[in-house]
Structure 1
């Protein structure tokens, strides 16, 4: 079963599951976000989701964390059924930064809508329930780490029809880097604020986006093609 839990220092979220859980999620990502250039204005967000999918795929391959999780098989059950088997399953996991994961959950709303328009059998689609569960798990994990009144406001914001069409994805990098630089206590206090900034695209985001657009205009680049100068630290505490 796919699960999510905040990391010890609240830097991010650990996504865990067995091989099939993570592979299903990875396949759903690939299917729903479409092919390169398929959705005009969404290439930056698609690249962002591909980055998350990359981490999930490598986790499923055992390239990130490997854990042993109790599978419910008790000694009494083995005696009763007359067999011996492991009482733990192998689970794989990977840590994702909180701002990155929240943005992914938001961006998937647009991609789900685009996917449904291009899928004549979307009601019976096997990939959409996987995406819905992914988004629900992100929100459920978020709920466990912010006050209830703030969560209700964020939930309402998530339900608003805000689009990530031509989104300045560099803003996610900005929030990621700010979040990494915080202390554990600062992260706990600012998590709801960051979630709101990603959900509603406030004036800070709009001002940032205008700066990116100004940088993109001279070379006639797409908004997602402008690189951020700041670099991620090679190592930090999750």
Structure 2
């Protein structure tokens, strides 16, 4: 079963599941966000979501964390059924920085809307259902970390503006990731809700960054999502 828990230092969310849980989520996201020729004005968001999918795929290959989780089997069942069976299943997990994970959760709403409009609006579509499950476990994990009033604001803003990330300067997610990494554990507890809201409200810092990127894009004739940000992540992250 797919699950998400906050990491020990509140640095990010740890996404965990067996191989098929993670593989189903990855394939559902691939289906809904479409190939690189679709939804061009959402390419920045699409690329960031694909970055999270890459981390999930690495997890399924055992390149991140491997855990053993009780599966409900015990000696009584073995004797009753006259079988020998493992009592634990192999689970894979990977950590994603909280601003990145929140952005991914929010941006998937845009792609769900696009998919419903252009591909399939069946409310029982299995790909959408899988993504909604992922979004629900992210938000439930956030509920455990945020004060009630902050969480209520987050949920309200999550559905009040659509689309959120049309031609979005996704370099701002890097800015928030790096700002968040510099905070202490106590500062993260106090400010996680504010970071979530900053991903949904185009504040002065975001507008200034986007204006700068657009000016560069006009000179270089690049698209906004093609311009890298000159900021380096630390080689080691304490989760």
- TM-score between the two structures when normalised by the length of structure 2: 0.95
Q: C-alpha separation between the residues in 2 aligned to 1:156 and 1:120?
A: 26
Which residue is equivalent to 1:119? 119
Does the 8 Å contact 2:42/2:167 carry over to 1? yes
Report what 2:102 is aligned to: 102
In 1, distance between residues paired with 2:181 and 2:172? Answer: 14
Q: Within 5 Å, give how 1:40-189 maps onto structure 2.
A: 40-120=40-120, 122-162=122-162, 163-189=164-190
Structure 1 distance, partners of 2:110, 2:235, is 32
Alignment of 1:17-32 (within 5 A): 17-32=17-32
Change (3 A) 1:111 1:90: same
d(CA) in 2 for partners of 1:14 and 1:5? 5
Q: Secondary structure at the match of 2:199?
A: helix
Where 1:68 maps in the other structure, the secondary structure is strand
Counterparts of 2:126 and 2:31, CA distance in 1: 10
Whole-angstrom CA distance in 2 between matches of 1:191 and 1:128: 27
- CA gap 1:121/1:106 in 2 versus in 1, 3 angstroms: closer
Normalised to the residue count of structure 1, the TM-score between the two structures is 0.96
Superposition deviation, residue 189 in structure 1:
1.2
**Alpha carbons 2:17, 2:92 under 8 Å: kept:** yes
Rounded to whole Å, the distance in 2 between the matches of 1:137 and 1:208 is 31
Bigger mean CA offset, 73-82 vs 177-186: 73-82
CA distance in 2 between partners of 1:4 and 1:201 (Å): 27
Is the partner of 1:113 in helix, strand or coil?
helix
Is the 2:115–2:121 contact (alpha carbons within 8 Å) kept by the matching residues of 1?
no
Is the partner of 2:130 in helix, strand or coil? helix
Aligned to 1:49, the other structure's residue is in SS state: helix
Query: 1:233 matched to which residue of 2?
Result: 234
The structural deviation recorded for 1:121 is 5.8
Q: C-alpha separation between the residues in 1 aligned to 2:5 and 2:89?
A: 18
CA distance in 2 between partners of 1:52 and 1:15 (Å): 10
Aligned to 1:199: 200
Does structure 1 conserve the Cα–Cα contact (< 8 Å) formed by 2:45 and 2:107? Answer: yes
CA distance in 1 between partners of 2:102 and 2:172 (Å): 13
State the shift of 1:149 in Å. Answer: 1.2
Distance 1:121 1:214 in 2: 38
Number of residue-to-residue matches in the alignment? 238
**Deviation of residue 190 (structure 1)?**
1.0
| Aligned-residue CA RMSD (Å) | 1.3
Structure 1 range deviating more: 181-190 or 45-54: 181-190
